[in-house]
Amino acid sequence: MSNSDKVETLRWVGDVDGHLVLIDQTLLPVDFQEIECKSVEQVWEAIKQLRVRGAPAIGIAAAYGVCIGLQSASDKAGLQSRLNKSIDYLATSRPTAVNLFWALDRMKAKAGLLQGESVASIQEALLKEARAIHDEDREMCHAIGRYGAALLEDGNGVLTHCNAGGLATAEYGTALSVFFTAQDEGKSLRVFVDETRPLLQGARLTAWELSRRDIDATLICDSMAAQVMREGKVQAVITGADRIAANGDSANKIGTYSIAVLARAHEIPFYIAAPSSTFDLAIANGNEIPIEERSSEEITHGFGRQTAPTGVKVYNPAFDVTPAEFIKAIITERGLIDPVSEANIRQVLGRV
């Protein structure tokens, strides 16, 4: 793959009877390998095991998963049963990223409008809806990049955490879209990439994406962020988000809250970049965001090697919540939310 190639983390192959193809992100950056998902169970496993990850990409994969689930339906009753079972099953794959539930709800609502149609027509319409979700995310990512790039000046140092690039979305990403767009506009940035323990999404994925685009990227351990900030090398912090509450509290990969606290201590603006589909205005604040807890082996046996005593207790939350007060602005496809407040969020998103 050349540096000019765009990352296409997932794609649909064929027509109604087609299937989903994903980059297996658990193998990056050493091996680039795609996997075929031809059953709902394979899509669920890919989401659960982080073969596909990132809130927008999870939502897109789930929408296509619904289409796969309907392929075996031969009559209206069977289709409705398969629809409900597929949506309910896919919803159990991961609890924190709201895009998953947003996409499944959208597919269910679309099906509800097609009650009088034939099985074939419903299958075709739902595949069209899944493709629309995919295409819309691509457009939203580029819009986020345009709004975000305006916040950065040529020569800025920027820090990011986890991976919010093309691998996590339809194309370009959210946080990384800001960097890619700034590059397109002729700006030169120096990006500091947190490794992002325990699964190293920053080291394995973000550093890989930035390197392919010839962006000046420097990988650091998570615990080095404060020192890099103290040395004056960082002028802004930009991360993605997996769910944003009505008041602006934002859930993202574990460690993001720590970075926001450090940024505030060093008077560095901290930005969240996320599409409107990542907002969950049904929950008042971050206390209501469900936090996924993953297996202890991710910490005690990272990438297959034991690094902790046998039997030691482990707590492994996959996400944390950054309070709205720590966020300078949220960069969306509809513009900047600055200051971050419920009233401003609803105004910018058009959900007053």
Name the nearest CA neighbour of 62 among 45, 75, 78. Answer: 45
Residues 6+ apart with CB under 8 A from 197: 222, 254, 255
Q: Which two tokens stand for residue 323?
A: 């309070």
Which segments of the chain does DSSP mark as H helices, in order? Answer: 40-48, 55-69, 76-90, 98-112, 119-149, 175-184, 201, 207-212, 225-230, 256-265, 297-300, 342-349
Residues 6+ apart with CB under 8 A from 222: 161, 194, 195, 196, 197, 255, 258
Q: Is 17 a residue of the active site?
A: no
Q: How far is CA 213 from CA 2, 34, 137, 218, in A?
A: 9, 21, 21, 14
Q: How far is CA 220 from CA 181, 197, 223, in A?
A: 23, 11, 8
Edge-to-edge strands, sheet with 243-245: 279-280, 243-245, 250-253, 319-322
Q: Which two tokens stand for residue 311?
A: 């039997």
Name the nearest CA neighbour of 57 among 114, 97, 106. Answer: 97
How many secondary structure helices (H) and strands (E) does the chain include?
A: 12, 14
Set 242, 249, 280, 320: catalytic member: 242
Distance, CA of 119 to CA of 346 (rounded, Å): 38
Distance, CA of 208 to CA of 213 (rounded, Å): 9
Hey, which residues does 220 pair with through a beta bridge?
194
Active site positions, annotated: 242
